[in-house]
């Protein structure tokens, strides 16, 4: 079984977070260390450590990540000019919390995807 993370506690509202959206499948909240004017994390309520652990049964929930991202981008006012969605996997991919999550970043030009 996967080890619980800080995200599990946010989903259960055991620790404070600026939750913008929550339903039976996903939760979305503002990143506490934003890298852009709008930086929101969208996470499945089910603990899946990495993208490598995704199963076919998770497709509906993962699709919800994208529909919630679209909705939040509209609410944040970044949908027209554009935004970036990022998912990291494992250390070389930059993953820090082992509960898959999508970053929604926007509110300014974000520049190239990778530098250097």
Active site residues: 101
| Neighbouring C-beta atoms of residue 14, cutoff 10 Å | 10
Q: Is 29 helix (H, G, I), strand (E, B) or coil?
A: strand
In angstroms, the CA 78 to CA 21 distance is 17
DSSP 31-50: -SS-SSSEEEEEEESS---S
């Amino acid at each position: 079984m996967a080890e619980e993370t800080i995200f599990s506690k946010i989903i259960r509202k055991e620790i404070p977070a600026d939750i913008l959206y929550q339903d039976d499948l996903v939760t979305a909240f503002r990143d506490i260390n934003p890298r852009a004017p709008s930086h929101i994390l969208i996470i499945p309520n089910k603990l899946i450590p990495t993208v490598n652990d995704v199963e076919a049964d998770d497709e509906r929930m993962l699709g919800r990540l994208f529909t919630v991202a679209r909705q939040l981008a509209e609410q944040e006012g970044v949908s027209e000019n554009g935004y970036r969605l990022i998912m990291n996997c494992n250390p070389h991919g930059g993953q820090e919390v082992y509960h898959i999550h999508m970053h929604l970043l926007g509110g300014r030009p974000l520049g190239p995807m990778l530098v250097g």
